[in-house]
Amino acid sequence: MILTPLTGIPLVQPGDNVAELIQNGLRQLEIKLESGDVLVIAQKIVSKAEGRLVNLTQVVPSVEAIALAEKVQKDARFVEMVLRESQSVLRTRPGTLIVEHKLGFVCANAGIDHSNVQGLWGNQDDWVLLLPENPDLSASLIRKELEAANNVRIGVIIIDSHGRAWRMGIVGATIGLSGVPGLVDLRGVQDIFGYQLRITQVAAADELAAGASLLMGQAAERSPVIHVRGFPYPLREASLRELVRPKSEDLFR
């Protein structure tokens, strides 16, 4: 499997066409899309293109946000945005706010971030970026435009950096996908000794997200799109739902 960063993607502004930027990036590296290829895209450029920037000076915190902000020692306006983007608050402590995002997954601060965010005016420290409103739809629209332009069948994954309940550090994780399997079900497949697997399901989209995230980096690398060739599983229609563990099965809640 070959993962290639598209280093020619410019700084993305609200209203930019992400598919067009990716097409230009592929052209600069003389990469011609082929059926079976996958494009892994950093959430930030999708959010920026979709205008998901918020200036905290325009946010009025609720009574709930003010009380919670005092508890976690965060800006009440920031906490207000976290609450707006969340279904519920799961864990809190000073400096930490773990929520169930409206999209269904558990993450810190509802995925709202200050890093690599440039606002349109005023103090840059006042700007934050929200996750795409519907990452599956965002991935689908980008995929369809690129497929039509190149006459191919590809997959698209949108990723973000997430922590994990049982491990230290962050890792790239899928928050939206189109045309790529989220899970690959290996139940019933035999291992090298003939033992039939009983419960194994591979989070293939997350495994690819983690690998791509290594090349994207977390700071000033400016490689928000990774072209993937040789993904080892057949492409198919999928959605984020298959990667989100149901609450009834979540032992960490």
Question: How far apart are alpha carbons 98 and 94 in whole angstroms?
Answer: 11
Predicted confidence (pLDDT) per residue in 230-251, tens digit: 999 999 999 999 999 998 888 8
- In this prediction, residue 82 carries a pLDDT of 98
Confidence at residue 220, expressed as pLDDT on a 0 to 100 scale: 59
Contact 156, 39 (CB under 8 A): yes
Instruction: Please give the CATH topology (third level) of the domain spanning 2-45+133-243.
Output: 60s Ribosomal Protein L30; Chain: A; (3.30.1330)
pTM of the predicted protein model = 0.94
In terms of pLDDT, which residue wins out, 163 or 22?
22
Q: Is the pLDDT of residue 55 over 80?
A: yes
pLDDT digits (tens, 9 = 90+) for 140-184: 999 999 999 999 999 999 999 999 888 999 999 999 999 999 999
Rounded (10°) CA dihedral 241, 246, 252, 253? 110
Higher pLDDT, 120 or 93: 93
Q: Could you report the per-residue pLDDT of 181-204, keeping only the tens digit for each?
A: 999 988 888 888 888 989 889 999
Per CATH, the homologous superfamily of domain 53-129 is: CofE-like domain (3.90.1660.10)
Q: How far apart are CA 114 and CA 55, in angstroms?
A: 11
Contact (Cβ atoms closer than 8 angstroms) between residue 182 and residue 159: no
Q: Are 72 and 94 in contact (CB under 8 A)?
A: yes
Q: Where are the domains of the chain?
A: 2-45+133-243, 53-129
